[in-house]
Amino acid sequence: MPAHRFIVADANAHAVELIELNVEYLTWVFEGIGRHFGIPQSEVAGTPASEYAPAVIGQVCGDPPPRGIFYLIEVDGTLAGMGGLRFLHAGAAEIKRVYLRRQYRGMNLGAAIVERLLADAAAFGYRHVFLDTAPFMAAAHRLYENSGFTDCAPYEGTEVPPAFHARWRFMCRSLQAQK
C-alpha cells in the first residue's frame, strides 16, 4: 500500500475538493446505473452529477465528529479518494462515498478507508454501521464482505431511490465485538 494521508474534510474549507471528487464518483455511479438498469444517465437522479453533488454535499459530508467524519485521502500530495461516515439514527451510522480515483485502485487503500471509518464509528459510540453499494460494484462488494459486512434490508435514511432498492445491495455490520 502506498504511503497515504487522511485529511479530515470540512464541507466549507474543502468544498472544491469535495465537489470535484463527488462529481467524479457520481458520474461513474450514474453511468453504471444507466448501463445496469438500462435507463438514460440523465434520469438516474433527475439532474446531472455536476448539479447533484453540490446539492447533497452537506448531507453526505457535513456531520462533524462525533456524529460523523469525512476524509479526503492523499497519496504523495495528490488527491486520491474519499470516504465518510454519517449519522443515521441513535446507535447507527452510514459509510458514504468510499471512492478512489482509478489510478489508486488495487492498492488496498479502500480497505484502509473502511478500516479507519469503522474505528471512528466505534470511537463515536455507534453500535451498527450500514452502507449501500450498487450492483455493478463487484470490487466494493468484496471489500465490504472482507470487512465483516453482511446483507441487510434497505434502511431508513439511505440515499438510494426506492425504485432501485430491489436490485441494490444494502449491508450492515455490528460493532459490538469491537468494544
Amino acid at 76: D
Domain range holding 73? 4-178
CA–CA separation, 102 vs 33, rounded Å? 18
C-alpha angle 40-42-43 in degrees, rounded to nearest 5: 70
β-strand pairing of 128-133 with 92-100: parallel
Name the pLDDT band for 4 (thresholds 50, 70, 90): very high
Region 18-46: what's the mean pLDDT? 87
**In the block, which residue shows the cell 447533497?**
56
pLDDT at 37: 86
CATH code for the domain of 102? 3.40.630.30
* Residue range 160-178, pLDDT digits in tens: 989 889 999 999 999 985 4
DSSP 8-state secondary structure symbol assigned to residue 38 = T
Domain count, the chain: 1
pLDDT at 178: 46
CA–CA separation, 40 vs 35, rounded Å? 8
What proportion of the chain, given as a percentage, has pLDDT over 90? 74
Query: What does pTM read for this prediction?
Result: 0.92
